[in-house]
Amino acid sequence: MFRSLSLIFILGLATSELCRKVKIPGIIGMLVTGMVLGPYVTDLLDPKILSISAELRKLALIIILIKAGLSLDWRDLVKVGRPAILLSFLPASFEILGYVLLAPLFLGISRIEAALMGAVLAAVSPAVVVPRMVYYIEDRYGTEKGIPQMLMAGASCDDIFVIVLFTSFLGMAQGQGAQVMDFINIPVSIIMGILLGLLTGYVLQAFFEWAYSQDHLIRNSVKVILVMAFAFLLLVVEEALEGVIAVSGLLAVVSMALMIRNRSEKMVADRLSEKFGKLWLAAEPVLFVLVGAAVDIRYTFATGLPVLLLIALALLFRSVGVWLSTKKTPLSVKERVFCVISYLPKATVQAAIGSVPLAAGLDCGKMVLSVAVMGILFTAPLGAFSMDRTYRKILKKEAS
């Protein structure tokens, strides 16, 4: 296991830095490193690491989501409320529609199989989008109009919507039919996640303030540990309430950090954010190298040009959804184009659920996995590269 961890950190960071030297997003190097080290190429990663890969990726995601919450301001979220809500479901709905209409023509599958494929592909990758939005907020790019805050909020809810649809379509493909409660659980999961996170953040920050008033100095490093511990508890609560009431644990994590940020002095919140930024330096290669390791490139070469064309056309449908979501906002045409670009990347969700239809024994399972793999390889680098190359030209830097 230690050898695998050393390979993940050393090669992940090295290839990331090499990519940055040639003006390519570092995520590409880390994804490629994972694919090469993974079980489908050199098989150099310990099976023990791969067996807990999903948990390690979620841990890394928790770290960047906490940092995201610590970077958000209530006023910014209120300002971008309507388009952020639309971005949480409209682009994904349009992309799924694209697959429903086009996949039967390109791949000869049924409409319900096409809907299942669309649900796998429709989720934006918070692992690619959120770190960049956090950086833009900290460097004050686009913050005057709340663009990174809007995109970060929308991306955080987008995955919940898509995963619930995926579960429903999977049941329909297996002949179980659609369950009304699955669709009701979408807003319930979002609302309960936000409320639980806000309550947890309020209690945690109240404890920090009480300790300070009693002259019990809690170092920022200890606060980081406590915040992480409560973030883990929120995910435990999500699992414990499964089947009783829907709760989004990851959204609760963001909301908890948001409450701490807005009830703390700015200097304290900035220090906590800085601490989590340092944790992200270690978490980032773990996340993306293991995402790459989950990609079975054997399926990629079997798909060919039709699948790539299908993904590209479905992204056009998605782009229409983003464009409509940002209509009647103060954003310029270029800024709305940037929003379209930011909603292109796929990675974490596709790596997590892409193989589920195949494991469930569905006839379309191998094809869904092939498209999911191609989607990651095509859209993650494309979205990351496009954002990195355009944000300075499109987003206005707000004066300090």
pLDDT single digits (tens) 129-181 = 888 888 898 888 888 888 898 898 888 778 778 877 887 788 778 765 556 66
Q: Residue 14: what pLDDT? A: 93
Give the integer Cα–Cα distance in Å for 352 and 355. 7
Q: How confident is the model at residue 309 (pLDDT cuts 50, 70, 90)?
A: very high
pTM metric for this prediction:
0.78
Q: Residue 322: what pLDDT? A: 95
8 A C-beta contact, residue 250 and residue 37 = no
Q: For residue range 26-68, what is the model confidence (pLDDT) as tens digits?
A: 878 888 898 899 888 888 998 988 888 878 878 887 887 888 7
Please give the DSSP secondary-structure letter assigned to residue 301. T
Give the integer Cα–Cα distance in Å for 192 and 248. 7
CA distances from 334 to 25, 233, 304, 392 (A): 21, 41, 33, 12
> Per mean pLDDT, which of 190-194, 246-250, 385-389 is the most reliable?
385-389
Q: Which amino acid is at 358?
A: L
Name the residue among 284, 285, 280 with its Cα closest to residue 11: 285
Q: Residue 15: what pLDDT? A: 92
How many Cβ atoms are within 10 Å of 365's Cβ, its own excluded? 19
8 A C-beta contact, residue 92 and residue 314 = no
Name residue 397's beta-bridge partners. Answer: 141
Least confident piece of the model among 9-13, 296-300, 307-311: 296-300
DSSP notation for 76-114: HHHHTHHHHHHHTTHHHHHHHHHHHHHHHHHH---HHHH
DSSP notation for 211-258: HHHTT----HHHHHHHHHHHHHHHHHHHHHTTTTS---HHHHHHHHHH
User: Angle at the Cα of 284 (from 281 to 289), degrees rounded to 5?
Assistant: 140
| Mean pLDDT (whole number) for 341-354 | 84
